[in-house]
Amino acid sequence: MDLPNHAKQLLLQLNQQRAKGFLCDVIIVVENALFRAHKNILAASSMYFKSLVLHDNLINLDTDMVNPAVFRQILDFIYTGKLLNSDQPGEQNFNALLTAASYLQLHDLAALCRKKLKRSGKPFIAKLGIPSIGRVGRSHRLSTPPFAHMRFSGSSDAAKLSHPKELSKVTGPEDEVFAASNQENCHSLNRGTSSSSSLNNSINGSDQELGLDLSKKSPPMPVQDEAGQADSRAGSPQSASASLANSASYEELDLPKNNCEPMELEAVEENHSDVGPKKLLRHASRKKEWTRKDGEKLAEDGGEAMPNGVIVGPLSKERNLGGIYSSDQSFKCKDEVENGKDNSEESGHSESECSAHQNANYVYRQEGFETVPFGDNLYVCIPCGKGFPNSEQLNAHVETHTEEELYIKEEDSYSKEEAEDLSAPNNTFPNESRPFKCSVCERSYKDPATLRQHEKTHWLTRPFPCNICGKMFTQRGTMTRHMRSHLGLKPFACEECGMRFTRQYRLTEHMRVHSGEKPYECQLCGGKFTQQRNLISHLRMHTSPS
DNA sequence: CTGGGGATGGGGCCC
DNA sequence: CGGGCCCCATCCCCA
């Protein structure tokens, strides 16, 4: 018995899920464009991808071999089996496609391209060094084929192999990024705005644009402000998401390009080559270690049973790309575990509570796991559990909740906080100068805005998601700061050594390295330190039993 | 190999 | 919204 159209329907569903970022568990970086996808699909399409996605959640492709426009076509091909039209002339496009397909070991696509080129009578003009196996060229990123050193993240070896200068380049005018069609992320950032119409108006009509516009999320770079360009181009996170929601298929990168002022260009080069990617590698490595460490506690080798029965791997725990379980859950639950409030059945930590820790005001409900049938209402409000057929309706509903309803009502945690606060040197307990008292805990503040900000920390929800990795934040500023780490933006440069930092405070801290100033002294042994945190860690050495 | 210190990155949170 | 500070984690170097 054959079910006609089964494969087609399945592919259609998967492509729709990709469009929404639903269950996407891997990010592919091509120059400055990001694409979300499903590991399974990629692995099923190419041995190359299969090897890559096994260990990595973030895949950086060789820009010599593939550019964002071509990769978009390729990704569409993988998910639809169809080659959609490109802006490029046919032969040129097929040449580029063939290069990329060969590189990515998409043999069917490569054969298709060859056939097209042969038919047109134009021979394939291959780029030098197309990796059959073992290309070691300009980019060590992941241009090297599988089985060599295929790890982008989580491997210090990869970091060593990757020459920072090679890891990225300043993008030229030809660089393009794709507007994201991840409606969920757009909505979660822009509650109340509608992105679906603009999505429907995408230039290609049918295919979704799955890259993320990095540029619009870039915070202004104060160091480069003299040029007067960075600021005017760099938008706020809100405008970023707006652009994500509203742009059509292609958008020019707003990152400074080759025609920038020299100073600006220099800064960007440093940001994107010397520091950014390298740090990204280190960052990924660290994250991996965290996952591994945590994984030991939660599950062997990256499989963790979540409360609703969904099995999430390290990626899902770390980077929720699809909107179900963001990293915050893992962090939150990890914290709770550490605090003796294990996220287990006996603790009474319900699914909704746990879910609510990690997403904004809504999550997709994964079909097949809900205990109550929700039918087509896949968008579920965390606080009340109601299901909605689409995110717009859910968002409208979420607005009806009062903030008070969103508070966490866990007495234990507050008493714990209070205990900690009492020991804190600068406690924030109410007094005459701090008249604004938190209704949940005992803290008080000088002004209502700060109180309100604090009260958000009691909410179940985290309203500010990172549009790249899905991690949720309570404060927009924290989220934008977090975005800098994705983008490798380090506006604060040390005049002495040129080292760059994401935060002013880090630079101040760093400057003590040059000045030799050691303002922090250990009262027990007289040891002096440049940084307070190192004094603290030193003090632990004194206090910890040995 | 191990422990301590220097230095850095990221998140939380208050101002 | 940015600055500043705290905390935790990590990497690297060196004794």
Q: What is the pLDDT of residues A18-42, one digit of tens each?
A: 887 777 777 777 766 677 788 889 9
Residue A522, classified by CB atoms within 10 Å of its CB into exposed (0-12), middle (13-18) or buried (19+), is: middle
Between A84 and A5, where is the model more confident? Answer: A5
Q: Helices A237-246 & A476-487, crossing angle to 10 degrees?
A: 70
Mean pLDDT value of segment A212-224: 32
Between A90 and A277, where is the model more confident? Answer: A90
How high is the mean pLDDT of chain A? 53
Q: Which nucleotide's C1' is closest to A455 (Cα)?
A: B13
Q: What is the pLDDT of residues A143-164, one digit of tens each?
A: 333 322 333 333 333 333 233 3
Q: Is the CB of A173 under 7 A from strand B?
A: no
Of the candidate ranges A118-122, A165-169, A374-378, A449-453, the one whose mean pLDDT is the lowest:
A165-169
Q: Which nucleotide's C1' is closest to A480 (Cα)?
A: C1
Mean pLDDT value of segment A344-356: 33
Q: Is the pLDDT of residue A314 over 70?
A: no
Q: Is the pLDDT of residue A12 over 80?
A: yes
Instruction: State how far the Cα of A121 lies from the Cα of A328, in Å rounded to an integer.
Output: 54
Terminal Cα distance for chain A, rounded = 70
**Inter-residue contact A428 to A434 (CB < 8 Å):** yes
Between A394 and A352, where is the model more confident? Answer: A394
Q: Could you tell me what percent of chain A has a pLDDT over 90?
A: 1
pLDDT class of A391 with cuts at 50, 70, 90: low
Q: How far is the CA of A450 from the C1' of C3 (A)?
A: 15
Q: What is the pLDDT of residues A88-128, one digit of tens each?
A: 667 778 888 888 888 888 888 888 888 888 877 765 554 43
pLDDT class of A442 with cuts at 50, 70, 90: confident
Residue at shortest CA–C1' distance from C5 = A505
Q: Is the pLDDT of residue A296 over 50?
A: no
Q: How far is the CA of A400 from the C1' of B8 (A)?
A: 43
* A158: three-class secondary structure by DSSP: helix
Q: What per-residue confidence (pLDDT) applies to A533? A: 72
Instruction: State how far the Cα of A227 lies from the Cα of A491, in Å rounded to an integer.
Output: 14
Q: What per-residue confidence (pLDDT) applies to A78? A: 92
Mean pLDDT value of segment A390-407: 51
Q: Which amino acid is at A132?
A: S
Q: Could you tell me what percent of chain A has a pLDDT over 70?
A: 38
Q: What per-residue confidence (pLDDT) applies to A291? A: 31
CA dihedral A498, A499, A500, A505 (to 10 degrees): -110
Q: Is the pLDDT of residue A74 over 50?
A: yes
Q: What per-residue confidence (pLDDT) applies to A188? A: 32
Q: Which nucleotide's C1' is closest to A474 (Cα)?
A: B12
Q: Which amino acid is at A473?
A: F
Q: Is the CB of A501 under 7 A from strand B?
A: yes
Structure tokens that stand for A421 in this block? 């606060």
| DSSP H or E segment with residue A155 | none
Of the candidate ranges A113-122, A223-232, A491-500, the one whose mean pLDDT is the lowest:
A223-232
Q: Is the CB of A509 under 7 A from strand B?
A: yes
Instruction: State how far the Cα of A258 lies from the Cα of A253, in Å rounded to an integer.
Output: 12
Q: What per-residue confidence (pLDDT) applies to A433? A: 67
The two beta strands, A26-30 and A33-37, are antiparallel
Q: What per-residue confidence (pLDDT) applies to A481? A: 82
Global pTM reads 0.35
Instruction: State how far the Cα of A43 lies from the Cα of A49, in Å rounded to an integer.
Output: 5
